[in-house]
Amino acid sequence: MLLNCDLGESFGNWRMGEDALAMPHIDLANIACGFHGGDPQVMACTLALAKHHQVSIGAHPSYPDRQGFGRRSMALSADELCSDLHYQIAALEGMARVQGLTLRYVKPHGALYNDMMRDNAILATVMQAIASYPSELQLMLLATGQRQQHELMAQQHGLSLLFEAFADRRYTDQGTLTPRSQSGSVLDKQAMLEQVQLLVAEAKVITDSGQSLALNADTLCVHGDNLEAVNAIKEIRALCAR
């Protein structure tokens, strides 16, 4: 299973994550585009890291909410959201082309990601924005029990999808992520490794109610926020390579 990680979220004097340490152990780098994190210099450095380690790159756009790190929902019109996505994707793609790199996919960030997974109207706008962008890009979204429905939506837009699972998040019986406000929503290291083992071996997770849930995912989201997280990526990589 491919490993993806959110990177390039530092900006100015504010440093976020251990990008240089995480990059050698992942397959897909979701790179911030400036609206929640990232700036031109950070984008350039993150892209150079990806190029050095031969990691595929994707845009990681958000609502225009730098102060809230993209974690606050915003009531944007479809036209506004589409333009915001085009702006961010174009910024990263342009920076990538300078280094001879090709942008492969888009993974929305934070509140935008959560909103599109709960609201098909927002998801349709995101799909339309990516489909109308003049480069061929995939959309990464959460693998849930609605995979077939999401694939049908994507087909209507001529779009292909990448489905992801999360290594360190507890799932509900419906296949969505347990809200962070609930106890146990973020797994400790042992529980995370057990969940990864089950995903790799049987394409399943155990939900917050103890049920077994099938999840058909193409990629696994990991985090490089600190040294402990990077060490966990190494262990996850070993499990996925078995």
Q: What is the mean pLDDT of residues 211-235?
A: 92
Asked if the model's pLDDT at residue 198 lies above 70, the reply is yes
Q: How far is the C-alpha of 219 from the C-alpha of 2, rounded, in Å?
A: 5
Residue 146 neighbours by CB under 8 Å, 6+ apart: 175
Give the pLDDT band (50/70/90) at residue 206.
very high
Q: What is the CATH number of domain 2-240?
A: 3.20.20.370
Asked if the model's pLDDT at residue 214 lies above 70, the reply is yes
User: How much is the pLDDT for 109?
Assistant: 96
Give the pLDDT band (50/70/90) at residue 145.
confident
User: How much is the pLDDT for 242?
Assistant: 60
Between 13-17, 68-72, 181-185, the lowest mean confidence (pLDDT) is in 181-185
Share of the chain above pLDDT 90, in %: 81
Tens of pLDDT along 75-107?
A: 999 999 999 999 999 999 999 999 999 999 999
The strand pair at 28-32 and 204-206 is best described as: unpaired
Residue 206 neighbours by CB under 8 Å, 6+ apart: 171, 195, 198, 212, 213
Asked if the model's pLDDT at residue 177 lies above 90, the reply is no
Give the pLDDT band (50/70/90) at residue 158.
very high
Residue 31 neighbours by CB under 8 Å, 6+ apart: 7, 8, 38, 43, 46, 47, 50, 57, 58, 59, 60, 92
Give the pLDDT band (50/70/90) at residue 1.
confident
User: How much is the pLDDT for 142?
Assistant: 95
Measured in degrees and rounded to the nearest 5, phi and psi for residue 137 equal -130, 145
User: How much is the pLDDT for 185?
Assistant: 87
Tens of pLDDT along 3-60?
A: 999 999 999 889 988 999 999 999 999 999 999 999 999 999 999 999 999 999 999 9
Task: Compute the mean pLDDT over every residue in the chain, rounded to the nearest whole number.
Answer: 94
